[in-house]
Amino acid sequence: MKPHYKGDDMAKDFSSVDLKTEKRFFNRELSWLKFNSRVLEEAQNTDYPLLERVRFLSISASNLDEFFMVRVAGLRGQVRAGITAKSIDGRTPQRQLEKIRTRAEKLMITQLECWDKLQVKLYKNGTKVKKVTDLPTAEMETLARKYENDIMPMLTPIALDPAHSFPFIHNLGFGLVLKLLSKKTKASMKALLPVPANVPRFVQLSRSSNGRSQTYVALEDVMLHYAAKFFPDHELDGAGLFRLTRDSDIEVDEKAEDLVLHFESLIKKRRRGRVIRLRLERSIPQDLRDFLVESFGAAEEETFDIDGMMGLSGLSELINNNRPELLFSPFTARFPERIREHDGDCFSAISQKDILVHHPYEEFDVVVQFLQQAALDPNVVAIKQTLYRVSDDSPIVKALIEAAERGKNVTALVELKARFDEETNLRWAQDLERAGAHVVYGFIDFKTHAKVSLVLRREGRMLRSYTHLGTGNYHAQNAKIYTDLALFTADKAFGRDIGQLFNYVTSYSPPQNLEKLVIAPTGLRGKLMEHINEEIAHARAGRAGHIWAKMNALVDRDIIDALYRASQAGVQIDLIVRGICCLRPGIEGLSSNIRVKSIVGRFLEHARIVCFGGGDALPNKDAHIYFSSADWMPRNLNRRVETLIPVDNATVRRQIMNQIMVANLSDETNSWDLAPSGKYIRRKTDNVDDPFSAHKYFMDNPSLSGRGKSLKYDSPKDPDQARANSNTARQRAKAKSNDNSPDKPAPQRGTK
């Protein structure tokens, strides 16, 4: 099962890459930039509707902002502190920053080129982003009215002289710097015109009655056009646009006496973090450029000159829901049928049999309904819940508040260290406490990243537990675009284990003798290593060694080295790693039995799954199957409270292994293969009739969750074989497409 690569990899010499050299690892930060390049590629994907391509461009720009705010900021801090410790691939912080700058500059240029092309297509399709200088008289009159009424009152011009110090510009803020000459004395003066927060990025000038045609101008273009009006005694002698990114990482003081007050202080401090990236319009006069660089305290290596629009993350404002033909075709998420069969009674359905839910293909509303029912059920006596990221208008938190107000014992573990969600979580924590819930914040030095609900219900003389164990956050909006797994179960062992997990984070009491659940930081790493070593032993004994794993990031040095050793022993390893991957696959003598692919498409792959063959090729009935909240990164395995959930139920096992994993491994339309050089190569589907898309497959096929009809079929032991035999697989799929029997084979490539 050796991967085959073309192009630059054929010419590279990898003979020196082994378990003793740093070359066996890819750099984490550069790998992330490659992931964001794949996101940007989706904006250039002509198979996608136009407005979805705009959305991908906006996401790519927003991702890059956050990368600088956190990852680059961290490296800058290391350099300032004189730290020279090397990354796993042998680079110092300074060397990493140099490489990041080169890659990031190329990425920003590509983003701007992409926008130029998309803007032309948008114009032809009725969404016109014009320059002020190109507006006809009628639109210019409309702009003048909008400026006078809606924009000018929000603006605050600031003359810069000894009486007016340089103002604070917030993170991701941008504005104009102006050079002015007095009409009387010709004396020079500088001024700033910051773009105010909470003002639309684009000014809409017209909209057709059906909403299909709209005309906009960019806010900064409007501001520049009218800037001189703020200074009637001066002439405009030069101007330029700037945008800045600030250090937004938070360093928690482990000795803080009041964690809530400490985080409130840190959030305020973050807003004033040092400048990490200063983007300047390339046409800006040199003296104004020098002035801004000095005023913001930005180093030259933190300054980027830009030809084109800044703040491309704001392009999401142009997405017009009145143009369905320019958006992905809508699909209706399904509700688990067995809960419907129990008249919506979640507890009745779960008590009968475990239910696996696959978001977003199945509604997140089932999770909401589970907790709402718990809040209203007089027999429910307690609810325990982890909250890492939740929406601003969270139905989950509202259900917990309802339960607390009804006198139930509600324990909410609110993670304050969820980056960029700290304020939301603080607000919800205060609302929960006012309702009477017991709110805890977990560990100071660990994040609680596990996704767990525990409901205790009195049934007759016994107290029965119902648990929800997931890979995704309790975030209703994200659940519409993130692919995640969640298990509802009334299994008593899980209930006891989850009880210990909550005791761990509320009382620092380490779990003892867990029956099923595996958690980090105490045992998750060890369990993964144990299974990898078992597969090595199977392979060395002449049995099949096989590992399938799906995750968002693979960074941990020890896990990667264990996978290398497994490959050397003959274990066949297929990895689906959406984002960062520091493992170098396909190296003879090191990783020739490892294949890595990334799936980037309509939905954000977020579920973490791992299957170990147990002495046989996957899929098989004796495999060890888990899903998890944890990626394979040091922070997840060492510094977070995470869950690794074993799957014992036969129906759920088949769903995860034979359906979800095989579909992801066989995906063609959204897949990128990682080559030994680090290059990601998009799978070509030009010559493939009806190429298989895992996302489309899950949208199109009827839900079987929780009904005992999980798809059964002989999945390909080697997904490459499925690709090579695509015609046969397609014919089998079509022949079975109308067969709803429990033994209906899942397609190896997909159905229409």
Q: Is 514 exposed, middle or buried (0-12, 13-18, 19+ CB in 10 A)?
A: middle
- If DSSP codes are grouped into helix, strand and coil, which group holds residue 71? helix
Strands (E), 293-406: 303-306, 355-359, 380-387
As given in the structure block, the two tokens for residue 641 are 């409270």
C-beta separation of 74 from 53 below 8 A: no
CA 246 – CA 405 distance, rounded (Å): 41
Q: Dig out the tokens for 332 from the structure.
A: 């209706």
Helices (H), 478-591: 492-507, 524-540, 557-569
Are 30 and 88 spatial neighbours (Cβ–Cβ below 8 Å)? no
CA distance 311 to 170: 14
Q: Which two tokens stand for residue 608?
A: 């973490």
512, 572 Cβ separation under 8 angstroms: no
DSSP conformation class of 632: B
- Give me the long-range contacts of 203-211 (CB less than 8 A, separation at least 24): 203/143, 203/146, 203/147, 203/151, 205/130, 205/135, 205/139, 205/142, 205/143, 205/146, 206/139, 206/142, 208/126, 210/322, 211/320, 211/322, 211/323
Which among 57, 129, 114, 49 has a CA at the least distance from the CA of 323? 49
Q: Note if the bond before 619 is cis, omega within 30 degrees.
A: yes
Q: Give the closest residue to 256 by CA, choosing from 264, 268, 245.
A: 264
Which residues does 223 contact at the CB level (< 8 Å), separation at least 6?
A: 151, 155, 175, 176, 193, 195
In this structure, what are the phi and psi dihedrals at residue 507, rounded to the nearest 5 degrees?
A: -130, 5
Torsion angle in degrees (nearest 10) through CA of 207, 211, 214, 218: 90
Alpha-carbon gap, residue 23 to 18, rounded angstroms:
8
Q: Tell me the C-alpha distance between 431 and 435, whole Å.
A: 6
What is d(CA 485, CA 469) in angstroms, rounded to the nearest whole number? 8
Decide: helix, strand or coil at residue 589.
coil
Reading the block at residue 460, the tokens are 């007759």
Distance in angstroms (rounded) separating the CA atoms of residues 220 and 310: 9
Helices (H) and strands (E) in the chain, counts: 23, 27
Residue 631: both structure tokens together: 């990626």
Q: Which residues pair with 25 in a beta bridge?
A: 583
**Tokens 């979800």 sit on residue:** 660
Task: Give CA–CA dist 454/383, Å, rounded.
Answer: 6
CB 609 within 8 A of CB 550: yes
Cis status of the peptide bond prior to 136, with omega within 30 of 0 = no
Q: What count of other Cβ atoms lies within 10 Å of the Cβ of residue 38?
A: 20
> Two tokens at 404?
């607390």
**Closest alpha carbon to 720 in 595, 570, 584:** 595
At 231, the amino acid letter reads F
Residues with catalytic roles: 449
- The structure tokens listed for 618 are 């996957």
